[in-house]
């Protein structure tokens, strides 16, 4: 095919950072054609859909694609529960025939951004900083109660700002930039939720002839 277009439907606006990770995964598994990604921003609709089934339906109508990624944070639920939730929503949409991949980080997606110290420093606007950062061990990140708060704390520390300038740091913007600075997501291969996503994506290029293999 000449290009691959995919849409990402997320829980919230901050989760659009997953686009970079998903594109990296597609490249990792042999997609060689140009990739166009789109975040399904449903917030500006006169009546934004609330249920997952309606959100999926609206995403496909407004953001046509070859592949749909549906993100749900596991939070305190087992990953399997979120996957089942997505599958049930799809069963209620029999006209959906394109491939759909579940993206379910444990807790929340920020857990997948906590491993790259250089990316965190760059996203905080201080790539050459020397302050010590308490980067969690990768095997422990899925057990962190609030990965979003942990990432924000790391960003504040990495900025090395003080006083009012530290208070004015746009943490949401910095957090979004972390993924942009990560060149290699393969360290996440030791995390069960990422392994499941990786396996789902790995089957797509051959099945749908999106690569050379």
187: DSSP letter: G
In whole angstroms, what is the distance from residue 63 CA to residue 85 CA?
Answer: 22
pLDDT score for 77: 85
The H-or-E segment that residue 7 falls in is strand 4-9
Whether 70 and 87 map to the same domain: the answer is: yes
- As a whole number, mean pLDDT of residues 70-97 equals 93
Whether 67 and 129 map to the same domain: the answer is: no
Whether 61 and 139 map to the same domain: the answer is: no
pLDDT score for 76: 79
Whether 10 and 93 map to the same domain: the answer is: yes
Q: Of all residues in the chain, what percent carry a pLDDT higher than 70?
A: 98
Averaged pLDDT score across all residues of the chain: 94
Residues 6+ apart with CB under 8 A from 125: 159, 174
What DSSP assignment string belongs to 99-137? -EEEE--SB-GGGGGSS-HHHHHHHTT-TT--S---PPP
Q: How many domains is the chain partitioned into structurally? A: 2
138 neighbors 187 (Cβ within 8 angstroms) = yes
Q: Is 46 helix (H, G, I), strand (E, B) or coil?
A: coil
pLDDT score for 212: 58
18 neighbors 68 (Cβ within 8 angstroms) = no
State which residues form the domain around 130.
Answer: 110-181
Classify residue 125: in a domain, yes or no.
Answer: yes
Residue 42 has pLDDT above 90, yes or no: yes
pLDDT tens, position by position, 43-75 = 989 999 999 999 999 999 999 999 999 999 888
- As a whole number, mean pLDDT of residues 34-47 equals 95
Whether 13 and 99 map to the same domain: the answer is: yes
Classify residue 213: in a domain, yes or no.
Answer: no
74 neighbors 105 (Cβ within 8 angstroms) = yes
Q: What angle do CA 76, 82, 83 make, to 5 degrees?
A: 145
Find the CATH number of the domain harbouring 96: 3.40.50
Whether 94 and 132 map to the same domain: the answer is: no
Residue of higher predicted confidence among 32 and 59: 59
Q: Which residues pair with 101 in a beta bridge?
A: 69
Q: Is 84 helix (H, G, I), strand (E, B) or coil?
A: helix
Whether 158 and 68 map to the same domain: the answer is: no
Whether 149 and 201 map to the same domain: the answer is: no
Residue 213 has pLDDT above 60, yes or no: no
Residue of higher predicted confidence among 3 and 211: 3
Whole-prediction pTM value?
Answer: 0.93
């Amino acid at each position: 095919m000449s290009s691959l277009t995919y849409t990402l439907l997320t829980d919230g606006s901050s989760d659009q950072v997953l686009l970079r990770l998903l594109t990296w995964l597609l490249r990792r598994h042999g997609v060689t054609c140009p990739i166009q990604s789109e975040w399904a921003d449903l917030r500006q609709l006169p009546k934004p859909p609330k249920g997952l089934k309606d959100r999926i339906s609206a995403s496909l109508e407004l953001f046509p694609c070859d592949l749909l990624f549906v993100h749900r944070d596991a939070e305190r639920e087992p990953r399997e529960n979120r996957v089942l939730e997505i599958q049930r929503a799809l069963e209620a949409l029999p006209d959906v025939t394109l491939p759909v991949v579940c993206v379910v980080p444990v807790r929340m997606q920020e857990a997948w951004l906590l491993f790259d110290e250089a990316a965190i420093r760059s996203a905080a606007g201080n790539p050459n900083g020397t302050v010590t950062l308490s980067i969690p061990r990768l095997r422990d990140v899925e057990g962190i109660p609030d990965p979003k708060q942990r990432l924000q704390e790391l960003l504040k520390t990495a900025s090395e700002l003080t006083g009012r300038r530290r208070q004015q740091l746009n943490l949401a913007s910095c957090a979004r930039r972390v993924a942009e600075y990560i060149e290699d997501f393969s360290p996440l291969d030791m995390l069960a939720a990422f392994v499941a996503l990786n396996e789902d994506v790995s089957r797509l290029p051959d099945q749908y002839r999106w690569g050379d293999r």
